[in-house]
């Protein structure tokens, strides 16, 4: 185990998240890698993110200015399920012709679509059970995707345990599409699925959304739990001289005491995530996003769990670690803020 500083140089290549060799039974925050991107319709590669972010995390300096000490040994990552990797490979191959057909399928493709929906359901059920048992042990749980379909079972498990919770959702997209391209558990449908599965959800607060359909805008407008802080409106307020601090307080208002954070990296400016599946110009800066999360904690709210999804390594250049470098840093910030918002003990 490394000491927490880089005095001795970077950790060995086989070390785990943040350079440690840790057992999850000893740690307070457990990260579950979900290498799943079956329904990704544009740029692919986010299934490789959990492994690549672990590798990139070895380069981080773990000193946390708020805690005034190194942070990282409080977090352990489970070994990634080989079965989930296999499911992702097999279902991704079946999904490509369905995506090409825009989901309008018959015969064999319809059969394949049903199989993908069924395996997606199985993944959600397995993840929900696994997360529920970790929450039962008093852990905080983070999902490292994978696309935005990957944390669905985990969010349901968090709601089972924290029925008063709200969701703070960073994303360029509203993710309110109904069974996008025929997939019940599409990356583009997760928030639609959640607000329908959980009608009593206290709040879904989406930030940075800037690529959405008319139907999604109407769903967001008409649903009592959904509060969309669209990117163009945020930027207009900033241009008019409103401070980011003041905007953050507006964003936090609808959120209850317990907050689940669902962080799609494409909510950030694509300069931070050039290889993500569906990059969109605009978005939050890294510092704006971290400041908003800091304000969640400063307001006395508690982060009960989180996910980080849609980070994608540069598939064409394995030496380019930029996307996963940003992803590892954001994971480190999210974990540290979760830890602090729980009073540094769980």
Q: Binding string, 250-279, against Mn ion, x = CB under 5 A? A: --------------x---------------
For Mn ion, the closer of residues 158 and 169 by Cβ is 169
Longest dimension (CA), the chain: 61
Q: CB under 5 A: which stretch of 50-58, 105-113, 145-153, 293-301 binds Mn ion?
A: 145-153
Per CB under 5 A, contacts with Mn ion among 302-341 are: none
Taking the complex as a whole, how short is the minimal distance between the CB of residue 266 and Mn ion, in angstroms? 7
Taking the complex as a whole, how short is the minimal distance between the CB of residue 294 and Mn ion, in angstroms? 22
Cβ atoms of 205 and 56 within 8 Å: the answer is: no
For residue 40, CA distances in Å to 26, 73, 188, 268, 307 come to: 35, 33, 9, 19, 17
Ranges of beta strands (E only) in the chain are 29-34, 63-64, 69-70, 75-77, 140-145, 166-170, 204-207, 226-229, 258-264, 302-309
Q: Is 63 exposed, middle or buried (0-12, 13-18, 19+ CB in 10 A)?
A: middle
Cβ atoms of 195 and 204 within 8 Å: the answer is: yes
For Mn ion, the closer of residues 3 and 213 by Cβ is 213
Establish how many alpha carbons lie within 13 A of residue 154's alpha carbon, considering only the half-sphere containing its beta carbon: 28
For Mn ion, the closer of residues 140 and 169 by Cβ is 169
Assess 37 for contact with Mn ion (CB under 5 A). Answer: no
Q: CB under 5 A: which stretch of 67-75, 143-151, 222-230, 323-331 binds Mn ion?
A: 143-151
For Mn ion, the closer of residues 136 and 215 by Cβ is 215
For Mn ion, the closer of residues 18 and 263 by Cβ is 263
- Euclidean distance between CA atoms 193 and 176, whole angstroms: 8
Q: CB under 5 A: which stretch of 50-58, 125-133, 166-174, 315-323 binds Mn ion?
A: 166-174
For Mn ion, the closer of residues 58 and 177 by Cβ is 177
- Euclidean distance between CA atoms 38 and 83, whole angstroms: 14
With CB under 5 A as the contact rule, the residue among 58, 139, 140, 148 that binds Mn ion is 148
For Mn ion, the closer of residues 173 and 177 by Cβ is 173
With CB under 5 A as the contact rule, the residue among 175, 269, 307, 321 that binds Mn ion is 175
- Contacts with Mn ion by CB under 5 A: the residue count is 5
* DSSP string of 224-259, one letter each residue: TTEEEE-HHHHHHHHHTT--HHHHHHHHHTT--SEE
For Mn ion, the closer of residues 24 and 175 by Cβ is 175
Assess 171 for contact with Mn ion (CB under 5 A). Answer: yes
Taking the complex as a whole, how short is the minimal distance between the CB of residue 171 and Mn ion, in angstroms? 4
Q: CB under 5 A: which stretch of 32-40, 110-118, 170-178, 206-214 binds Mn ion?
A: 170-178
Give the residue from 210, 297, 217 showing the smallest Cα distance to 261: 297
Calculate ∠ Cα 250-224-306, nearest 5°.
60
Q: Which residues contribute to the site for Mn ion (CB under 5 A)?
A: 148, 171, 173, 175, 264
């Amino acid at each position: 185990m490394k000491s927490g500083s880089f005095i001795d140089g970077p950790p060995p290549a086989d070390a785990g998240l943040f350079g440690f060799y840790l057992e999850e039974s000893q740690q307070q925050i457990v990260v579950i890698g979900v290498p799943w991107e079956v329904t990704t319709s544009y740029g692919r590669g986010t299934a490789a993110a959990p492994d690549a972010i672990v590798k990139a995390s070895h380069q981080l300096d773990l000193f946390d200015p708020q805690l005034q000490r190194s942070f990282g040994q409080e977090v352990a990552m489970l070994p990634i399920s080989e079965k989930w990797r296999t499911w992702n490979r097999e279902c991704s191959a079946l999904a490509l012709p369905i995506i090409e057909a825009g989901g309008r399928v018959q015969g064999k493709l319809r059969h394949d679509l049903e199989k993908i929906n069924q395996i997606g359901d199985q993944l959600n059920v397995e993840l929900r059970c696994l997360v529920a048992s970790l929450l039962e042990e008093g852990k905080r749980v983070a999902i490292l995707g994978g696309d935005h379909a990957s944390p669905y079972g985990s969010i349901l498990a968090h709601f089972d345990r924290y029925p008063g919770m709200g969701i703070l959702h960073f994303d360029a997209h509203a993710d309110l599409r109904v069974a996008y391209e025929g997939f019940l558990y599409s990356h583009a449908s997760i928030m639609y699925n959640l607000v329908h599965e959980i009608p009593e959800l206290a709040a879904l607060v989406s930030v940075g959304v800037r690529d959405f359909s008319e139907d999604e805008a109407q769903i967001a407008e008409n649903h009592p739990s959904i509060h969309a802080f669209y990117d163009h409106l945020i930027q207009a307020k900033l241009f008019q001289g409103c401070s980011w601090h003041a905007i953050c307080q507006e964003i936090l208002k609808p959120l209850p005491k317990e907050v689940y954070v669902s962080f799609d990296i494409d909510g950030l400016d694509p300069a931070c995530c050039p290889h993500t599946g569906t990059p969109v110009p605009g978005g939050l800066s890294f510092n704006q996003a971290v400041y908003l999360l800091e304000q969640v904690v400063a307001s006395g709210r508690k982060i009960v769990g989180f996910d980080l999804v849609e980070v994608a390594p540069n598939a064409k250049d394995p030496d380019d670690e930029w996307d996963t470098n940003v992803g590892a840093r954001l994971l480190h910030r999210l974990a540290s803020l979760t830890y602090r918002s729980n009073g540094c003990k769980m």
